[in-house]
Structure formats: C-alpha cells, structure tokens
C-alpha cells in the first residue's frame, strides 16, 4: 500500500484486481479506473483465428491423406493375399504323389511330379506328410523341383524316416511355388 511519502497518482487497487485507484498523497480517493498498461507496453488486441484455421486445415489434409493411404495399402494387401491364395491353390493342383512305398531300408519313400502351368520357369518346395492307418502323423519331409520350365513336368522325391507299414498314407501338406532365377 502507499503511504504519506508516496506521490499522488494512480496505483493498482489491491482490493479490486484489474482496477486502479487514485492516491492524493495522503489518502485513497473514491476515484477508480481500469488498470492501464505499464508505460511503453502496448495493449494486446484480439487477433483473428487465421493461423489456427490454417493449422486445422493442414491437420485435416494430413488425416485425410493418411486414411486414403491406409485404404490403398489395405486394398493392395488384400489383392496380394488373394493372389497368394490363388497361387497356392493352383500349385497344390500341380503337384501329385506318384509313389508312397518302402525304400530298401524299409522307410517310407515318397515320389511325385510337379507340373508347371505358369508362363514362367518355377521352383517348387513341396511339404509331404506320412500318416499311419489310424491317422497319426508319423513323419514329414520336403521334396524340391527346381527350374521347371513353363509347361514342363518335373519329378521330385521326399525320403522319410517313418517305417513303412500296412495302411500308411502319404499326402501333400503344402506347396510353395516361386519364380526361378535364371541358371
């Protein structure tokens, strides 16, 4: 608060924030006014929201772009997934087991063919399984047919360690066909 040594003038009113009161040099008067800015300080004026709108527009454009990109990626991923499924289904049709019998040691030996129906040279990775007469899987093995030209038939074999017994069955579990690198 001001005292008798304080010169007369306008001072912030401690009882009413945002206001000032006049000190006449000996006492506070009833004269009040809105608090004036300090000398040399320019009062701030409300600015438009142009900058805020620009930022919001940029954010909206980015969000729309990301959503569109995700939609494109999702469509491409579904197409690739569908193509792989078609390719796998087709490859399973191209691979046949021609023999499932005991080898010289009494183990199951599986032989088959891979028929490349694509327009490009292909490699085939064939997973086969041996099941007992009760349906229990006894063993699995892998056959390979590399550099099979378009329209050609290739032989493959997949030896196993399963003992041959009556009722044993052999089946193709999966086929992975890929394009061959040039030899």
Does the predicted TM-score (pTM) go above 0.75?
Answer: no
**Residue 171: inside a domain:** yes
99 and 27 co-located in one domain: no
Q: Dihedral through CA 159, CA 111, CA 170, CA 126, nearest 10?
A: 80
Distance, CA of 133 to chain centre: 44
**Residue 60: inside a domain:** no
Alpha-carbon distance of 109 to 92, in angstroms, equals 20
**Per-residue pLDDT for the chain (183 aa), expressed as one digit of tens each?**
555 688 988 888 888 888 888 988 888 898 888 886 666 655 555 556 677 778 888 888 888 888 888 877 777 666 555 544 457 788 889 999 999 999 999 999 999 999 998 888 889 999 999 999 999 999 999 999 999 998 999 999 999 999 999 899 999 999 988 888 766
What's the number of domains the chain is made of? 2
Range of the domain at 162: 94-179
Q: Is 100 helix (H, G, I), strand (E, B) or coil?
A: strand
101 and 170 co-located in one domain: yes
């Amino acid at each position: 608060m001001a005292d008798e040594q304080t010169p007369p003038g306008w001072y912030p009113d401690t009882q009413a924030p945002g206001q000032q009161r006049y000190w006449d040099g000996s006492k506070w008067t009833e004269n009040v006014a809105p608090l004036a800015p300090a000398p040399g300080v320019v009062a701030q004026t409300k600015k438009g929201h142009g900058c805020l709108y620009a930022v919001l527009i940029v954010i909206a454009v980015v969000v729309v772009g990301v959503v569109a990109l995700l939609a494109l990626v999702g469509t491409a991923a579904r197409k690739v997934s569908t193509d792989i499924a078609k390719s796998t289904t087709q490859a399973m049709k191209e691979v046949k087991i021609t023999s499932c019998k005991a080898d010289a040691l009494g183990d199951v030996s599986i032989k088959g063919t891979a028929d490349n129906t694509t327009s490009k040279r292909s490699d085939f990775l064939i997973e086969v399984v041996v099941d007992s007469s009760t349906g229990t899987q006894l063993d699995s093995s892998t056959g390979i047919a590399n550099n099979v030209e378009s329209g050609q038939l290739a032989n493959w074999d997949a030896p196993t360690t399963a003992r041959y017994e009556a009722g044993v069955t052999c089946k193709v579990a999966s086929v992975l066909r890929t394009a061959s690198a040039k030899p």
